[in-house]
Structure formats: structure tokens, C-alpha cells
Amino acid sequence: MSIIFNEQNKTFYLNGKGYSYVFRINDVGYPEQLHFGAPIPCEDVTFVRSFGGRSMVASPAGVDNGKLSYHHTLPEIAFYGSGDFREPTFLVQSERGDRLCDLEYIGYDVLEQKPDITGMPSLDGGQTLILHLKDKFGDMLVDLYYTVYEDVSVITRRIVYKNGGKAPVKLERAYSFTLGMHGTDYDIMTFPGNWMDERTPETRPLGHGVISADSKRASSSSTMNPAMAILPRGTTEQYGEAYGVCLVYSSSFVLKAEGASTGDSLIMGGINDFDFSWKLDGGESFETPEVVIAYSSDGIGGMSRAFHDAFREHIINKRYVKQPRPVLINNWEATYFNFDNDKLRAIVDSVQGTGIDTLVLDDGWFGRRSGDNDGLGDWYVNEQKLEGGLDAIIEHTHSKGMKFGLWFEPEMVNELSDLYIAHPDYAIGIPGRPKSYSRHQFCLDLTRKDVRDCIVEMINKVLREHKIDYVKWDYNRNVTDTFSVGTEPERQAEFAHRYALGLYDICERIINGNPDIFFEGCSSGGGRFDPAMMYYFPQIWTSDNSDAEARTKIQYGTSIIYPLSSMSCHVSAVPNHQNNRVTPMKTRADIAHLGATGYELDTTKFTDEDRETVKAQVEEFRAMQDIILEGDLYRIENPFEGNYFSEIVVTKDKTRAAFCVYRRNSQANEYTKRIRLAGLDKDKMYHIDKLGITVSGASLMNVGIAPNLKVADFISEMYLLTEVK
């Protein structure tokens, strides 16, 4: 890992694990990218710089030279109005109304320790270059940040925009990065979805023009994840170069890929500039969220492993990321709102001896909550429902040697709540204008400090007064009626970003303020699944869809960017409550065990045999949890493309692996399916428990194995591979 500046050819060499990122300062003081990809020596590669001489080209202001144009370079930052006709990285309007900014390089700093971003999570560690730029003819100052790592194949970037003058300016767009890519021969993969169908990878060719993937929901959203893969045509799961970008951000975002007339492509994005502006008074700065850019020469799978390592090593709480996770029983699908302390005690009793070690009491324990139309915002126990209060069930759970978890939805309020009656203005909306309902609830205005203080005080009181080990933090609607009574009119379009800053503030004060409590994230399942949330929540409920068949796709899609350790996955009842499908208990467990596993069904109905089954499943998970949480993931069979789903997770030292195979539909007279494993050491010998064979990594990866699955629908098997010396 190194950051080197060569004064002679004015070239910066950023060398990370497995890549080089190289750009130069060109003749007009403009940073121009030369290479991002496989490592190269720190030699002069300026011979690939852009050459001018084209028609319809505009030169930089004041330079009458047809051979020079911003438009024909691969930019580190692109700006509007001085000859670059592609998508700009930012747009700024001065007080008098002009929108020009012509940045030139004025110097750099290299920091051994990466600085934090004020009020926003970002990856830690890494050597950091700050490139200082300034408007040639004005006061705007722009700093580009680049961080390289010794241990993970990503580079992180972000931009700080500063008003160096006295008069205010308005940022109309303030992206975190622009990444130049040579050529246009790319496929672009995005991660759209929906509630119960999150992160479905979608790939399309980049032609000329712009592919844009965004959220306008003040949430990173289930409808589009803030990540994009850029795949040189021909790249596959296992082979070829793959680039990926992922924003460390939880509010409205945009990512764009532009195939330009210059024959090059630009990838860019950050805070969504739709319904956005930010007023910068003289001397003020605006910090943008970080983007993580992964590079791999081992296909899409290699890109995934680069992201997984980066998130596990540099953003997920070190205290929890590799720790064995609780194996929990969550009462939601067992009881919904219909429970009391007797029922909860019975659930705790029914899992004794199974290895399930945590009860998570879900929605419905607080305020006047009787269904989903009342009570949110009143974070005090409903004693009528829970006789003896929360402590009665907490003590019972603890007396059985289990931990206790509790559900909150901190950002929300129902109209039917004491909080709303006392403070109707705490809900986001325009006074005097009806608000839009979603699940009968409103979002609280986290842009206001008094509202945040009230939430933090209420929730921290519950956490202080009861012995709570685990919290599930939910967020079940998206922001509408965007307006804050606490913000001046000219700053109303700052709302979505201010919401994110407010969210991170309450997370800091509640989550980091209670460091002994484990926090799980949730947003109607995986509706806010992003690296910034992962900073606070080591695991996030991946989807409200708990059907094993649907989960093969949701978990496969999610794993393209996020590590298995971040995905909460539960074994639930059949017929499945979301889609009525009936799958075997074993399959439900095998698929759930490919993440942070748990159970979510009425365990009081368990027979002794069921309890034995669960006990064996939990033992199996415990025996391989370190592989799942820390290992390298190799996806083998893609459930979006065929009848099978299969992946193998291999420990870093390649001595053990967990291999899961699943077949959706049985077929009469099926041919023998061979599956070639991946990621093993070809020279090691592995024993496969359920096949009772010992064979070399070379054969497993080149010949494969033939899983002899039972002839029925939705059948799976999980194999543990152990090196034999």
C-alpha cells in the first residue's frame, strides 16, 4: 500500500491491495485519471493521456487551444460550464446566479490516519490522500479524499466542498465522486427490489447516455440499493475484472453510469440531487458521504469478497463482527400483536435445551399498542398487556440462562399516541396540510434537535431501567411530506440529508451510548440495508420474506455486496406466512444458517422431536458459525438463472469450508448434477462430512461433487469440509 507523487510527471500513484489507481495533474492543472485496475509499477504512463484536436470541443476558459478540453479527459471531478458536457460531479450557484466553477490543482496532503467525516459513518484506517483544488476565477475550494488499504481491495473516496468566499453559495448537486472508466464496453449491475424482494441484481449494457439508480425516499431503500457493479463485457462470477461502488449512506442517493461520446464512461454519485440543495455561507464546508470502490480481477465473486472484507474489517463494529451471534427466537411470526407474559414465558420454556439463547420481544409491548395503528412513539411498557411489566419476562428469560431483546421503532409516531397528542409538530409534514399515512404512522422530524433529544431520552430510559441485552431497531415507512418546521424556507431542500445526519446522531447517542447492548437493524426487513447502517448494526433483518426459496434469491443478491455476517436470517413456520409455500424444516435451516441465524415461529407448538431437530440444527450452525461470519464466499449456482442455488464459504486459511446446495424443483429422471466447488486449496485434502469422502481440493474444484438430493421440491444439503493432513 502506498501513495506516491512523482513531481516530474505530476502523477499520483495510489497502490492498494491488488490494484493501482493512477492520475496526473495535466497542463491546465486538472487531475486526469490514467489507470484504475491491476497493479502497475510507478512508471510514467502519461503516454495514454487524452489528445485533443477534435471539432465541437471547448477549451478551458482563457486557453485558446483546440487540443485541450476537459471533455476529453477521464476526470477525477467533473464540472459544468467550461467545456465538459458530461454529467458534472457538482453544481454550485453563486449569489449573483452564475453556475461556473473551474477547478485547478493547488496542492495535496497525505495522512497516515484517515480522518472521520463529521456526523457520518465511514470506513476506518487507511492511508489518505487529500487533493486540494480551487476555482481559478472564484472562491470555491474542493478537496478530493482517497484512502487506500493494506488489507482490503477497495479504495474509498469522498469530496468536501468549501465556500472560500464571503457571500453564500448554493450547492445544487454535491456528489461524492466521479470515477473515469476507459471505454464504454461495460455491463452495469444494479440492485433494485421491493418489500419482500430486496436486492435483485439487474444487469444491462451501458450504451451511450446515462443509467441512473436512485432513491428519493430519505432512506437507502428496498427499491434500489446504493451500490452498482461495473463489469467489463465478458466478466463472469469467477473470471474477469469487476468494479463495484457502494455508498456509505442511508438517505436519498443516486448512482449514475454515463457512456459518453468521447468513448469513455463516467461512474458517479452520492447524495441524490433530486430535491436537494445546500446553502453554504462564507467559510462553510459541506462533507459528502464516502463511497467504497472495489476492484477485482477474479470476477463478480472477487468484487464481492473485496466488499465483504472491507465492511468486516473497517466499518462493522469490531466488538461484534466476528463474535458468535445470538441464536434467537423472535416472537413476531409466532404471535404478532397477540401475546402476554404467559405466552412469552411459554416461548422461553419451549426452547430450553435447543441452544436458542436469546428471546427477542418484537412489536407490541409498549404504549397503547394493540395493532399497527397506535402506540408508536410511546416507549413505555404496556402493563395491561404485560402483567408484571417488562421485568417479569426479562427475569424469566434471564433465569433460564437466555438473553433478552426488545423491539423499537425510534423514528416513528402514530396519531393515536401520547407523543403525537402532545407534540403533533414532531411528525414530518407541512402545518395545516394533511400528511400521507403509511402503515398508519408518520416519521418523526429527525432534522430537529428537540425531537432527537426526546427520542433518545425515552429510549435510553427503557434501556437504563431494564436489563436488555439486544435491541431490534425497525423503520417501517419512508419519508413523505418533506418539510421541517424547524428549518428556514431556503434550506428546505436540505431535508433528506439532514434526516440522515439526524438518524446518525440518534444512533450515536442510543447505540454507542449503550455499548453492551447488541443492536440489530431492520426496515420492514431489508429496506435500509447499507454500510452506514452496518456501522451501527452488525446484522440487519434481510427481508420480511422468510420463505426459504425466496430467501435463496434475496440472500444471493444481497451477498453480491454485503457479507453473510450482516444478514439476519430466520427459520419460520410453514405454510410460510408471506407466500404460503411449504418447504422442509431442514431447508429452512440450511438457508437461514447462511447468515446470522435465528428462529421465528411458535415454538410452544414444538414436539419433542421438533426440539431435537432444532437442537441438532443449532449445533450444526455453532460448529460452522466462524466460517459463515468470517470466511470467503464463493457463489456457485445462481438461483436467478437455474434450478439450483449453491455457495461455499471457505475459511481464510482454507482449512475448513461450509458448502450449501439447494434444488428448487425435483425432476423425474433427473440427470446427475455435478457441482464444482470453488475457493479451496487445490493441494489440500478435505473430508466431507455427509458424503464420508476425503478428496483433494483439486478434484473438488475441477471434477466437482454430485449431491444426491432427495427427489422432492425445495431440498437442500449443507456439507462441512475439513482439511485432513
Interface pick for ligand GLA out of 147, 476, 545, 603 (rule CB under 6 A): 476
Give φ, ψ of 533 to 5 degrees. -65, -35
> What separation, in Å, do the N-terminal and C-terminal C-alpha atoms of the chain show?
35
The catalytic residue among 544, 547, 590, 632 is 544
Name all contacts of 184-187 with Cβ < 8 Å and 24+ positions apart.
Answer: 184/208, 184/259, 184/260, 184/263, 184/264, 184/265, 185/232, 185/233, 186/230, 186/231, 186/232, 186/233, 186/257, 186/259, 186/265, 187/231, 187/233, 187/235
Closest of 343, 338, 304, 324 to residue 153, by C-alpha: 304
Shortest reach from residue 363's CB to ligand GLA, in Å: 3
Nearer to ligand GLA, 287 or 474 (CB): 474
The catalytic residue among 362, 474, 530, 590 is 474
CB neighbourhood size of 185 (10 A): 15
Shortest reach from residue 96's CB to ligand GLA, in Å: 50
Residues 320-339, mask of contacts with ligand GLA (x by CB under 6 A): ------------x-------
Question: Judged by CB under 6 A, does residue 524 bind ligand GLA?
Answer: yes
Shortest reach from residue 165's CB to ligand GLA, in Å: 48
Nearer to ligand GLA, 298 or 544 (CB): 544
Shortest reach from residue 407's CB to ligand GLA, in Å: 6
Strand pairing class (518-521; 539-541): parallel
Interface pick for ligand GLA out of 83, 270, 301, 525 (rule CB under 6 A): 525
Nearer to ligand GLA, 474 or 723 (CB): 474
Shortest reach from residue 405's CB to ligand GLA, in Å: 11
Peptide bond into 168 cis (omega under 30): no
Question: Judged by CB under 6 A, does residue 87 bind ligand GLA?
Answer: no
Q: Which residues contact 26 (CB under 8 A, 6 or more apart)?
A: 10, 32, 49, 73
Nearer to ligand GLA, 475 or 499 (CB): 475
Closest of 158, 122, 160, 129 to residue 16, by C-alpha: 129
Nearer to ligand GLA, 177 or 332 (CB): 332
Q: 590 an active-site residue? A: no
Nearer to ligand GLA, 156 or 476 (CB): 476
How many residues touch ligand GLA (CB under 6 A)?
11
How far apart are the C-alpha atoms of 223 and 526, rounded to whole Å? 10
**Which one of the spans 217-225, 488-496, 517-525, 603-611 is the region binding ligand GLA (CB under 6 A)?**
517-525
Interface of this chain with ligand GLA, residues 537 to 556, rule: CB under 6 A? 541, 544
- Provide the grid cell at 441: 404512522
Angle between helices 341-350 and 389-399 (to 10 degrees): 10
Interface of this chain with ligand GLA, residues 583 to 602, rule: CB under 6 A? none
Interface pick for ligand GLA out of 135, 474, 494, 723 (rule CB under 6 A): 474
Nearer to ligand GLA, 313 or 411 (CB): 411
Interface of this chain with ligand GLA, residues 388 to 417, rule: CB under 6 A? 407
Shortest reach from residue 639's CB to ligand GLA, in Å: 22
Q: Any idea what DSSP says for residue 717?
A: E
Name all contacts of 111-119 with Cβ < 8 Å and 24+ positions apart.
Answer: 114/147, 114/156, 117/158, 117/287, 117/289, 117/290, 118/287, 119/287, 119/501, 119/504, 119/505
Interface pick for ligand GLA out of 148, 416, 456, 522 (rule CB under 6 A): 522
Shortest reach from residue 210's CB to ligand GLA, in Å: 34
Q: Any idea what DSSP says for residue 437?
A: P
Rounded (10°) CA dihedral 476, 479, 481, 486: 110
**Which one of the spans 6-14, 494-502, 518-526, 638-646 is the region binding ligand GLA (CB under 6 A)?**
518-526
Shortest reach from residue 362's CB to ligand GLA, in Å: 5
Shortest reach from residue 376's CB to ligand GLA, in Å: 9
Nearer to ligand GLA, 309 or 363 (CB): 363
Are 17 and 305 a contacting pair, CB within 8 Å?
A: no
Nearer to ligand GLA, 147 or 335 (CB): 335
Give φ, ψ of 98 to 5 degrees. -80, 155
Are 315 and 341 a contacting pair, CB within 8 Å?
A: no
- Which residue number is nearest to ligand GLA in terms of Cβ? 363
Q: Which residues contact 595 (CB under 8 A, 6 or more apart)?
A: 539, 542, 555, 564, 565, 566, 567, 568, 569, 628
Q: 474 an active-site residue? A: yes
Interface of this chain with ligand GLA, residues 358 to 377, rule: CB under 6 A? 362-363
Q: What is the DSSP string of 126-186?
A: -EEEEEEEEETTSSEEEEEEEEE-SSSSEEEEEEEEEE-SSS-EEEEEEEEEEEEESSS-E
**Which one of the spans 85-93, 519-527, 584-592, 668-676 is the region binding ligand GLA (CB under 6 A)?**
519-527
The gap from C-alpha 498 to its chain's centroid, in whole angstroms, comes to 20
How far apart are the C-alpha atoms of 244 and 294, rounded to whole Å? 5
How far apart are the C-alpha atoms of 181 and 264, rounded to whole Å? 6
Q: Any idea what DSSP says for residue 602?
A: -
Nearer to ligand GLA, 285 or 578 (CB): 578
Nearer to ligand GLA, 5 or 337 (CB): 337
Shortest reach from residue 664's CB to ligand GLA, in Å: 25
Shortest reach from residue 599's CB to ligand GLA, in Å: 13
**Which one of the spans 109-117, 121-129, 522-530, 677-685 is the region binding ligand GLA (CB under 6 A)?**
522-530
How far apart are the C-alpha atoms of 33 and 78, rounded to whole Å? 12
CB neighbourhood size of 706 (10 A): 11
Question: Judged by CB under 6 A, does residue 197 bind ligand GLA?
Answer: no
Closest of 542, 537, 532 to residue 520, by C-alpha: 537
Shortest reach from residue 360's CB to ligand GLA, in Å: 9
Nearer to ligand GLA, 143 or 198 (CB): 198
- Provide the grid cell at 544: 420480511
How far apart are the C-alpha atoms of 538 and 553, rounded to whole Å? 21
Count Cα neighbours of 634 within 13 Å in the Cβ-side half-sphere.
20
Which residues are part of the catalytic machinery? Answer: 474, 544
| Contact footprint for ligand GLA (CB under 6 A) | 332, 362-363, 407, 474, 476, 522, 524-525, 541, 544
